[in-house]
Each structure stands twice: as structure tokens, then as C-alpha cells.
Chain A
């Protein structure tokens, strides 16, 4: 679905934000991208809908080179919900905001209404449909930015730090959205600093440092003890369940459930 080959991006001020990334993401994958602030995560994903163009290297989306395709065309395949909702939101009403994207990609009538209603429902904003986005708190504006992207029905959905500022309920909504997208066979990519959210909800973890991919694999591998030095080199730490599982000699337990299962097995076995 997404292919990057030798991708390099240098900003006008000379910052080499992405420095030679080779990455392939297949249709229907659930991928989390982690790394420090400034490691190139957001820069990388912005190449997928043409907001940024490579300084060097190639990007291919759904089998076609991104080069030469307009943002409007790429945006039908890749929807990106931005980190800062206020850089995305412009409409005076919540419903109007969510309507803009799907209308722009050609949805009309009942299909448009269904897409908007489903997106509002998934983000818990149905009751706020008539509100002005700026009367919502930050966390709900963030969910609104997510709803606007969901409504477009793109095969690939990219979430840039979706759980930032969310309370437990908001985080659960985001987790439900990820599961729902995956169940529909859509490709979900999330950038996140929350290792627990990553381990619990994604099948593959890509770790970036200084514009490079330094680790890439399932959570059981990326958060396992042998990977810790690489994680530490970019100031990341495996979730508590993984650290505890290793300390107790229970193997790789990146999620709470896997640790408890391992603990139960160990106890039952003697």
C-alpha cells in the first residue's frame, strides 16, 4: 500500500528530517511509528499524501508513484489527522467540518450523510454536531480532526499523536477507532509517544531516530529485552509490562494481558 525507497527530506533551513528511509506497509496493516520529538515521524508520513515531496528517493502509494500525483488525488487514498487539530479545523460547525472532506472526494446524498454520521458516532461527537468547534475543549477538537479524516473513507488512515490530551475515555475511543478501521481492512498508521497504547493496539512498531528507521517489527520483538539498548539510544523505554516480564524471566510481554497470561502460566506450572 505504501512504499518508501531511500526517502530523504531536507527542509529549507537545512534540517535533514528524514535521512534515507526504506519502508513498506501492506494493505490492512496496523503500524505504530515511535521516536523522539524531531526524529522525522511527522515528516515521513506527510510524504504519503503529497504535503511534502522527497528531496531524494521515491514514494509509492497503492502501486503508483506519488511523484506527479496531486495532493487532491493522494488524499483520496491517505487521510492524515494532524497532531494539532487547530491547524486542520476551519469550519464554524462541527458537522460542516466533518462534511468537507467526504464532499470534496465526491460523496453526495445518503452516502455523504452516512459517512458523516458514522464518523461523528465513532468519535463521540454526535451530540456536538451543531456546536462551534472552538466551543469544544482541546481533546474534543482533536477527536473532531479525527472524525473529519474518518469520514473520507480513505483506505489508509494516519493518526499523528491521536491520544495527546485525551483522558481515559478519549483514549478508549481512539482505540475503538483503530480496531474498527482494522476490522474494515483499512490500513492504520499512528504516530505516538505512548508505548502502552502502541503495544496494546498495533501489530507492528517502527522506531525512528534522527531520520532513520532503527527498529521495525511486532511489539513482542521491538519491546523485548534485546531491543532495549536500541530503544534507550533514542531515549525510549518499553512499556512497564515488558520490563516486568523480562525481570521475572517470563519472556517478551509487551502488553498487560500478555504479562498476566505469562504470570498465570508460570504460577500454574509450579
Chain B
């Protein structure tokens, strides 16, 4: 369980609060989607929920981030990494820079967890297979396309099998198939009891993947409810969020006094 209690945050050197009085609980096995316009605080929330802010980024955090009932504050960085996984928005931010091949890059997490060699190899192969990038195993991680780098970054985290995982726009650079594979991998991970928070613009991905979706506006949580409710909210577009295709279509039909046949837009 990952929980934010009355969380407010500002970056070092700035007076403005980027997050304001947030309360959010993600239960084991639950997938929560996070939507909002650009610069509404989604990425900052990802940094705070994973403990990187303020621990590594600095700034001032009020309230607390709790993992399985214990506060994250004060834990050393290596412990944080084991407690809450984070997939960065830009795969280049995440790349270790110390490995020569994709296989080594994905194996680095399990190795650092101190897992036995056989377990490390098995997890690495499994993560590469899940995202269908086994053919990249021998490639240099610094010389991948944007989409490939994003899949490698996600595989690196999957191999660690984190109990809590925060992802910041994990599919931004992916083609539709890559996006679908990431969705499947995350669903499987949640099935093992991992609590997931996913910031995404692709509401079509969140629709069907998340149990719950929350929306941020200027650092405050303005919507929080079951996925269908938040993604179907008439407020979504005013928040700068594109509704899922099915919602758009239903709405466009309603404006013309038409109804889409039941189940047609499922």
C-alpha cells in the first residue's frame, strides 16, 4: 500500500506550492491513473510518491508519504529504490550509463537487489520477453530509438518486481502495440499484488487498465473516483485532458440527439 497523507510540496528556491493538500491511497494490486494538463503537477507527484523528492531533488514536503504504513521520509536512497520503483518520463534520465548491453541494463536492478545469478537471469529474460524486446538484448542501451529506450526502461523496473511502482508517462514514445504490451505487463504486475500509479495522457490506455483515476489541476486533486467516472467526467476537457475515444464518441452522438448502440463503444 502506497499512501499520500495531506501532501504539499514546493521545489527548492521556489515559494509556489506545486502540490497542494493531496490525499491518495493505492492499495496492493490496485492500478490508479493520474491525469491532468501539462505542468499540473503530475511529474512532481511521481517524484514525491517515489520518495525522490525531497530526498534527492530537495524542496519542502509537508504531510507524509507512507509505504505499507511506514513513512518514506528519512530512508536512505538505496532503500527507497527497493521500496518504490519509478519509471521516469524520459528513458534517458533513467538509463544507468554503466552498462554496455540492454541485457546488462535490465539485469542491473536485480543484481543490485542482491538476487542470486540464476534468479537475475530468469527475471531479465522474462522482462525482455514480456515487452517483446528480447531481440534488443545485445544492443547498446545508449543507441536505441525513443520507443525502444522507453521499453528497456520499463523492463529494467519490471525485473525488480517492485511492490509499489510509479510510472510517469511510460508509453509517451511507444507505438500502439508497445503501449498495449506495457498495459498487459502492468496488469500482470498488479496481479501479483503491486500497487501502481500511472501518470498518462493516453486515456484510452487508462480506460480499462485502472480501477481508479485521479485528476490534478494546479497541484490540487480535483477528481478522484472509479476510472469510468473520472474518465467520463464532463470536467475532464476543461482540465486539459483528452477523454477516451469511447467517451468522446458517446458525447458527440449525444450532442446530435443520437445514442450509440449499447455496448458498441466498449
Binding site for B on A (CB under 8 A): 35-38, 42, 83-84, 137-140, 161, 164-171, 193, 195-196, 235-237, 239-241, 244, 247-248, 256-257, 259-260, 263-264, 267
Contact = CB atoms under 8 A, between A and B. Distances in A.
A7 B39 CA distance: 42
Nearest to A140: B38
B176 A244 contact: no
A165 to B, nearest CB: 5
Identify whether the interface residues of B are mostly helix, strand, loop, or mixed. Answer: loop
A260 B258 contact: yes
Contact of A166 (B36, B38, B179, B246): B38
B175 interface: yes
A165 B170 CA distance: 10
Nearest to B179: A193
Interface string B92-112: 000000000000000000000
Contacts of A235: 175-177
A29 to B, nearest CB: 24
Contacts of A171: 242
Nearest to A170: B38
Interface of B: 36-39, 43, 89-90, 145-148, 169, 172-179, 201, 237, 240-242, 245-246, 248-249, 252-253, 256, 258, 260-261, 264-265
A167 B238 CA distance: 11
Interface centre among A83, A193, A196, A241 (most CB of B within 10 A): A193
Given A36-B175, A167-B38, A260-B253, A138 B265 contact: no
A137 B38 contact: yes
21 contacts: A35-B175, A37-B148, A37-B174, A37-B178, A137-B39, A137-B43, A138-B90, A139-B38, A140-B38, A161-B173, A167-B240, A168-B241, A193-B175, A193-B176, A196-B245, A240-B246, A241-B245, A248-B261, A260-B258, A263-B253, A264-B256
A239 B258 contact: no
Contacts of B39: 137
Nearest to B245: A240
Contacts, number: 98
A167 B36 CA distance: 8
A193 B178 CA distance: 10
Contacts of B36: 167
Q: Give 8 nearest A-B pairs by CB, closest first.
A: A235-B177, A37-B147, A240-B245, A168-B242, A139-B38, A167-B240, A167-B37, A36-B175
Nearest to B36: A167
B81 to A, nearest CB: 23
Given A166-B38, A168-B237, A248-B261, A38 B253 contact: no
A165 B169 contact: yes
Contacts of A83: 146, 173
Given A37-B174, A164-B173, A257-B252, A239 B37 contact: no
Contacts of A161: 173
Given A166-B38, A193-B174, A239 B264 contact: no
B256 A236 contact: no
Which of A37, A166, A170, A256 has the most B CB atoms < 10 Å from its CB?
A: A37
Given A37-B178, A235-B177, A263-B260, A168 B240 contact: yes
Contact of A167 (B174, B179, B242, B249): B242
A193 B150 CA distance: 15
Given A165-B172, A248-B264, A256-B248, A36 B177 contact: yes
